């Protein structure tokens, strides 16, 4: 009897994909059985991550790769366009999709949930695999019940395109759900320099700092009578997401239906 | 019909006691009915806190003061020696004790719980009334389940006598209860300067910083693969504890038996 | 022979003014000789600050007060409108003005400098007496030479009217003087929520956080290859400015002419 | 006429050495002319750092390598035992040594200085090439003049052997030089848990935090009346030292004699 989980990786040559390949190769409870990347040539997957040959040759086509191996789980870090077809391909082969890709519509999620249940297997769509980031969001929502006055400061590398970050908006949504909307600050407040008070969300503010050398950091600050409470998560590199992906691969074997949000895998 | 709660304050001339007197006077749902301090003369309680006369003259004897008024709740910020007799005196008069004093033994708590139940009223012993500090402890215990590697840094004014602080030890206890004991760090670690690695507790470390200008701050840091999670509470003055004492006075009216720890009054 | 400096205080009944009165009374090298406040009645200045009688009765008129005492220094925490006339009144009586009030025009400063030099005495106009804040600004300007990528986050109480704070703008000016203007961040950056990226100044950003319970805090963050450098000043109450005012009173005795900016009194 | 500087690297296969090789290959003003590592085979230096062939074959012997190329500068990240002989070998060949290795005695430094001057060239011994860390130390020494009450908290990965870190001890030395020794804290202070107050140095304390996921962080906290000033440097990876090594290689060409401490290369 074996508990080894067979893992296929889509988007294997990307920055996150390579971390997944490396993590799978290093966990004796997991076995790499396929690695898919549209642009990579037919090299051994080990080469991509500076490791010895694995016997798994990179493949350009997901369906073909899944047809040749007995994968239990597909980990997909591709792009919003490929995500839905990849998830459906996985399910067609009875493979549990663990999707690190964003951009699914509610209808698509419902459809995938239906297909999961028909196959009697689980699936996961997770915009964020960081256990630390999810704890930060969870604690922030809990604290907002007692300390409704809050602001969020998130810091990312200076080449990031969008502001505020997806994680900060998600955090803001969780906070908004757990407290009444209050318009914070002085009603007669005036910005001497436009934008100084940050982005407005549900009565509070989100501030986006962009600096070279930073990977991803966020601080949620609650202010109350004579005190402040701060919850801060600093992420130093992509490898920090791997404990979460690892947990997801193992938990997905025990559920049925499509789960949205990695937070549901934390107690 | 009135919902006004009659409040007596013991230790009324101390630093915390005066904050309680001020808070009670400022809340229209509360009424100051007695103020006890062994060393204060028979002046009006308002004088102590820079407020107009209240009609409540300071008293040197708790039993006598309680016999002359219909108090619902006694808030006690005295000292470990007076705490037990004061709580028993309150209960003898059917007054709910809210004890901000430390040093009760388990036997004493059990005895007070018995007396509370005989009278059919509630009581509270709370080493810490800070909602923010309690959330910090709660979140720390939750985080330790996922991130067992942790250290605590607490900072207080430079005249504080004991290190580490009571709050940091309490936090450490909560963390120890929610994770397996692991001896963190390099087993061959060497202190070039003795004490640099801080105080040892259940496999992790507590560091006590003492600096002028600081009231009370604590940061709990969790380290994991590629990330750190920090939970930090900064308390700027004693007034920051009053929302907690206020909540306690109101909640105590609705419970029976002796409650240990203000955290039980937070959902 | 005596080194005692005789101090008059204008705006003595305001929040800063009372701190100054208290500080002067507590320093044996200083002597309170006049306390002026337009709205206060003729009470003893000690009453204002919860101290025993000082023999100095509050006065409503500065010129009259200065005519009756031999003041060496006037400390003025009034308002922009009274500041210029008060400084000139002081100089007319040969009293050195230490002005904690903002709003002087360059012409007014030049005029006061002329009057100072005619009298052969010194004067000071200082928007900020915080030694810590000035060190933060000084270090920030020094760091910007090596780390040109920078952002400023300042946090104040939630009732503050203007954003960003005067101190943060002053810091930004110092930084701008010590580095070349560079437009930081991704040129194609997009704000999903307007204002998220903060206020723009000389290529970098200033973020203003407003939360209850906070007095005044500022953090200047420099980001570079693989590292961040942070300089942070937390001010907990008005009393934190008093060491600076005290230093100013003593240094002003040794200079001639009007000095602008307390930083010139730090080596 | 060419300004290209020819660089040899000793300890080229180590973690720092490889970063240096990479940095040299990426700077068009520098040219890699030798790469020495006792344990590496005769492979091309590019292979070590995942780059194309460079034409420089790894060498096991420094003297032999230097005899075969016209190096201007030797960058050495080896170990305390090899450091002195390597520096002397470099000087024997007229090559400027940039030593990132610790453990030189004052006598050895004096001897190397003599040899540098005989050859009319410069040399550098630098325990720390981080510009950010050096600014942190410099600012700390400056702040200590005004704020003598200080503590240091340094955080490193949990497998680090020594505590406190070399950088924190260096910072402590700089602080000790710029203020009078004062024994901080309450003289009757008591450690409930031994070591909680950290390591004692010149009247103040150093605290060493060790957590997985952290590379190198240090915060110097100054406490004074109503305020705290913090100077913090977070280093995320070894690459963060390379701007400093790069600067050193270029500056060393312009000096004569042995310089101790990279701080002397910052204005």
DSSP string, chain B: ---PEEEEEESTTSHHHHHHHHHHHH-TTEEEEEEE-SS--S-BHHHHTT----S-B-BS-HHHHHHTS--SEEEE---HHHHHHHHHHHHHTTPEEEE------HHHHHHHHHHHHHHT-EEEE-S---HHHHHHHHHHHHHHHH---EEEEEEE-TT--EES-HHHHHHHHHHHHHS-----S-TT-EESSTTTT-EEETTEEEEEEE-TT--EEEEEEEEETTEEEEEEEEE-SGGGGHHHHHHHHHHGGG--EEEE-GGGG--
Residues C153 and C120 in one domain: no
List b or e across C177-208, with b for residues whose CB sees 16 or more CB atoms inside 10 angstroms.
Answer: eebeeeebbeeebeebbebbbbbebbbbbbbb
Chains interfacing with B (3 or more CB pairs < 8 Å) = A, C, D
For residue D38, what pLDDT band results from cuts at 50, 70 and 90? confident
Instruction: Tell me how many residue pairs between chain B and chain C have CB atoms under 8 A apart.
Output: 8
Choice among A86-90, A210-214, B2-6, B32-36 with the minimum mean pLDDT: B2-6
Task: Give catalytic residues of B, as residue numbers.
Answer: 156, 160
Q: Does B26 touch chain A (CB under 8 A)?
A: no
pLDDT at B19: 94
Q: Does B233 touch chain A (CB under 8 A)?
A: yes
Residues B177 and B229 in one domain: yes
Ligand-binding annotation for B243, yes or no, is no
Q: How far apart are CA B195 and CA D172, in angstroms?
A: 15
Residue in C closest to D218 by C-alpha:
C229
Residues C35 and C95 in one domain: yes
Residue in D closest to A236 by C-alpha:
D236
For residue B50, what pLDDT band results from cuts at 50, 70 and 90? confident
CB-CB under 8 Å, B163 with D197: yes
For residue D240, what pLDDT band results from cuts at 50, 70 and 90? confident
Is it the case that residue B200 has pLDDT exceeding 90?
Answer: yes
Residue in B closest to C214 by C-alpha:
B236
Residues C156 and C216 in one domain: yes
Ligand-binding annotation for B126, yes or no, is yes
Ligand-binding annotation for B72, yes or no, is no
CATH code at C143?
3.30.360.10
Is it the case that residue A1 has pLDDT exceeding 80?
Answer: no
Is it the case that residue C135 has pLDDT exceeding 60?
Answer: yes
Apex C55 CA angle, C74 and B44, nearest 5: 115
Task: Tell me the nearest-neighbour CA distance from C122 into chain B, angstroms.
Answer: 31
Residues D115 and D243 in one domain: yes
CB C154 within 8 A of CB C168: yes
Write the residue in B155, B164, B210 that is nearest to D193 by C-beta: B164
Mean pLDDT value of segment A38-48:
86
CB-CB under 8 Å, B240 with C213: yes
Task: Tell me the nearest-neighbour CA distance from D97 into chain A, angstroms.
Answer: 29
Q: Does B221 touch chain A (CB under 8 A)?
A: no
For residue C1, what pLDDT band results from cuts at 50, 70 and 90? very low
pLDDT at D1: 39
Is it the case that residue B214 has pLDDT exceeding 60?
Answer: yes
For residue D66, what pLDDT band results from cuts at 50, 70 and 90? very high
CB B221 within 8 A of CB D214: no
Is it the case that residue B245 has pLDDT exceeding 60?
Answer: yes
Is it the case that residue B219 has pLDDT exceeding 90?
Answer: yes
Mean pLDDT value of segment B161-180:
94
For residue B2, what pLDDT band results from cuts at 50, 70 and 90? low
Residue whose C-alpha is closest to residue B136's, from B172, B185, B189, B190: B172
Q: Does B15 touch chain A (CB under 8 A)?
A: no
Residue whose C-alpha is closest to residue C129's, from C94, C166, C104, C163: C166
Residues A148 and A218 in one domain: yes
CB-CB under 8 Å, D214 with B225: no
Of chain D, the percentage scoring pLDDT greater than 70 comes to: 99
Q: How far apart are CA A220 and CA C22, in angstroms?
A: 37
Is it the case that residue D17 has pLDDT exceeding 80?
Answer: yes
Centre a 10 Å sphere on the Cβ of residue A57 and count the other Cβ atoms it contains: 16
Residues C17 and C109 in one domain: yes
CB-CB under 8 Å, B235 with A227: yes
Is it the case that residue B216 has pLDDT exceeding 50?
Answer: yes
Mean pLDDT value of segment D87-100:
97
Contact map slice: C 137-196 vs A, CB within 8 A:
149-151, 153, 155, 158-164, 169, 184-186, 188-196
pLDDT at C251: 95
Residues of D in contact with C240 (CB under 8 A): 224-227
Task: Tell me the nearest-neighbour CA distance from C237 into chain D, angstroms.
Answer: 6
Is it the case that residue A12 has pLDDT exceeding 50?
Answer: yes
Residue in D closest to A214 by C-alpha:
D236
Residues of D in contact with A156 (CB under 8 A): none
Mean pLDDT value of segment A125-145:
94
Residues D147 and D219 in one domain: yes
Q: Does A213 touch chain D (CB under 8 A)?
A: yes
CB-CB under 8 Å, C227 with D242: no
Residue in C closest to D136 by C-alpha:
C229
Is it the case that residue B265 has pLDDT exceeding 70?
Answer: yes
Is it the case that residue A2 has pLDDT exceeding 60?
Answer: no
Residues of C in contact with A197 (CB under 8 A): 163, 195, 208, 210
CB-CB under 8 Å, D227 with C233: yes
Q: What is the signed CA dihedral for C185, C190, C196, C201, rounded to 10 degrees?
A: 40
Residues of D in contact with C230 (CB under 8 A): 230-234
pLDDT at B160: 93
Residues A232 and A243 in one domain: no
Residues of D in contact with A213 (CB under 8 A): 236, 240
Residues of D in contact with C235 (CB under 8 A): 226-227
CB-CB under 8 Å, C163 with A196: yes
CATH code at D10?
3.40.50.720
More confident residue, B254 or A1: B254
Is it the case that residue B22 has pLDDT exceeding 90?
Answer: yes
Q: How far apart are CA C263 and CA C259, in angstroms?
A: 10
**φ and ψ of B71, to 5 deg:** -75, 145
Residue in A closest to D236 by C-alpha:
A236
For residue D2, what pLDDT band results from cuts at 50, 70 and 90? low
Q: Does C212 touch chain D (CB under 8 A)?
A: no
Residues A73 and A143 in one domain: no
Residues D224 and D213 in one domain: yes
Q: How far apart are CA B224 and CA B114, in angstroms?
A: 46
pLDDT at D59: 95
Residue in B closest to D229 by C-alpha:
B213
Centre a 10 Å sphere on the Cβ of residue B139 and count the other Cβ atoms it contains: 24
Q: Does D201 touch chain B (CB under 8 A)?
A: yes
Residues of C in contact with D229 (CB under 8 A): 132, 135-136, 231-234
Strands D73-76 and D122-125: unpaired
Q: How far apart are CA C66 and CA C36, in angstroms?
A: 10
Ligand-binding annotation for B16, yes or no, is yes
pLDDT tens, C67-119? 999 999 999 999 989 999 999 999 999 999 999 987 899 999 999 999 999 99
Is it the case that residue C167 has pLDDT exceeding 50?
Answer: yes
Residues of A in contact with C208 (CB under 8 A): 196-198
pLDDT at C11: 95
Task: Tell me the nearest-neighbour CA distance from A131 into chain B, angstroms.
Answer: 8
pLDDT tens, B128-157? 899 999 999 999 999 999 999 999 999 999
Q: How far apart are CA C37 and CA C59, in angstroms?
A: 6
Indicate the SS3 state at residue C167. Answer: helix
Mean pLDDT value of segment A2-17:
92
pLDDT at D3: 82
CA atoms within 13 A on the CB side of D171: 32
Instruction: Exactly one of D160, D170, D250, D251 is catalytic; name it.
Output: D160
Domain that holds residue C203: 131-236
Q: Does A2 touch chain B (CB under 8 A)?
A: no
CB-CB under 8 Å, B209 with D205: yes
The count of domains in chain D is: 2
Chains interfacing with D (3 or more CB pairs < 8 Å) = A, B, C
pLDDT tens, A92-104? 999 999 999 878 9
Average pLDDT score over chain B: 94
Which of B236, B238, B241 is the mutation pick for testing C, counting most C CBs within 10 A?
Answer: B236
CB-CB under 8 Å, A210 with C186: yes
Q: Does D213 touch chain A (CB under 8 A)?
A: yes
pLDDT at B101: 84
Residues A120 and A243 in one domain: yes
Chains interfacing with C (3 or more CB pairs < 8 Å) = A, B, D
Write the residue in D149, D196, D201 that is nearest to B207 by C-beta: D196
Residue in D closest to B229 by C-alpha:
D213
Instruction: Exactly one of A119, A138, A149, A160 is catalytic; name it.
Output: A160
Cα A228 to Cα B115, B166, D88, D103: the distances in Å are: 38, 19, 56, 45
CB C33 within 8 A of CB C69: yes
Q: Which residues contact A191 (CB under 8 A, 6 or more apart)?
A: A197, C163, C199
Residue positions forming the annotated binding site of C for NAD(+): 11-16, 44, 100-102, 126-129
pLDDT at A173: 96
pLDDT at D27: 95
Task: Give catalytic residues of C, as residue numbers.
Answer: 156, 160
For residue B41, what pLDDT band results from cuts at 50, 70 and 90? confident
Write the residue in C163, C191, C222 that is nearest to A163 by C-beta: C191
Is it the case that residue B3 has pLDDT exceeding 90?
Answer: no
């Amino acid at each position: 009897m074996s508990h080894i989980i067979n893992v296929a990786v889509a988007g294997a040559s990307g920055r996150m994909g390579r971390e997944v390949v490396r993590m799978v190769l290093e966990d004796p409870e997991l076995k790499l059985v396929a690695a898919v990347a549209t642009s990579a040539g037919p090299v051994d997957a080990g080469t991509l991550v500076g490791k010895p040959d694995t016997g798994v040759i990179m493949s350009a086509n997901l369906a073909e790769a899944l047809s040749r191996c007995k994968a239990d789980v597909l980990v997909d870090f591709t792009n919003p366009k490929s995500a839905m077809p990849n998830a459906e391909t996985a399910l067609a082969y009875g493979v549990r999709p663990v999707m690190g890709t964003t951009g699914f519509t509610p209808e698509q999620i419902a459809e995938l949930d239906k297909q999961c249940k028909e196959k009697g297997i689980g699936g996961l769509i997770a915009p964020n695999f960081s256990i630390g980031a999810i704890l930060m969001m969870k604690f922030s929502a809990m604290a907002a019940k007692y300390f409704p006055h809050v602001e969020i400061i998130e810091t990312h590398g200076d080449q990031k395109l969008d502001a505020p970050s997806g994680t900060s908006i998600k955090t803001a949504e969780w906070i908004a759900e757990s407290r009444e909307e209050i318009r914070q600050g002085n009603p007669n407040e005036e910005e001497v320099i436009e934008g100084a008070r940050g982005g407005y969300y549900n009565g509070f503010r989100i501030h986006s700092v962009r600096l070279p050398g930073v990977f991803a950091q966020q601080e949620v600050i609650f202010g109350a009578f004579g005190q402040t409470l701060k919850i801060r998560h600093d992420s130093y590199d992509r490898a920090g997401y791997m404990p979460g992906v690892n947990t997801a691969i193992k938990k997905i074997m025990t559920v049925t239906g499509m789960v949205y949000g990695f937070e549901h895998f934390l107690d």
